[in-house]
Amino acid sequence: MENTQPPTDRSATPHTPVILPELRKDTSLRTGLIQLPKALARSSFYQSWEDQACNGNMKLGNEFPFYEIAFKGHVYRLLTRPAEGNHLMNTPDEERYTLVRTCAPGLQVDGWMLAPPDAVPNTPRALLAELAEVLGVAYLEMLTDAYSIFHYRLDHAGKYPER
């Protein structure tokens, strides 16, 4: 008798390269993505420590970036932000927050909104696939010309590069 059940999706393993290690168990090993409810469920738990870059001091106002990628003079971000209207403390995070994609013509300037995502990339391959699709560019071009502002900030106490 043949097994007709779909295979169970496993979480990323300790050896899977991930962008946000604290979300490894919520990351699909097959796709490298975190489903929307799981990504939003952690939105209010970010804390900060002085003189150490962490999720709390990576915030941009009331938004938390999942990624910040510089590519050809623009910065592309995936952020969680408070949803309009539903701010009661006993409301689950997945109802209090929403995901948005943005593009800005610089590091610390306003930009514009892009189509919202269905999931959050948490592996380098998933991030590359998402950005290549959003920007309509080849993987090789992304690998050659893009870099992570988010990871720069993690290494520099949450500060942006000077240029």
Q: Which own/partner contact pairs does 2-9 have at CB distance under 8 Å and 24+ positions apart?
A: none
pLDDT at 127: 94
pLDDT at 103: 95
Q: Extract the residue ranges of the chain whose pLDDT is less than 70.
A: 1-8, 42-61, 86-89, 92-93, 163
Q: Please give the backbone phi and psi of residue 7, each rounded to the nearest 5 degrees, phi first.
A: -65, 145
Hey, what amino acid is at 51? D
Q: Please give the backbone phi and psi of residue 79, each rounded to the nearest 5 degrees, phi first.
A: -125, 150
b/e 12-33 (16+ beta carbons within 10 angstroms → b): beeebebbbeebbebbbeebbb
pLDDT tens digits, 115-151: 988 999 999 999 999 999 989 999 999 989 998 988 8
pLDDT at 44: 59
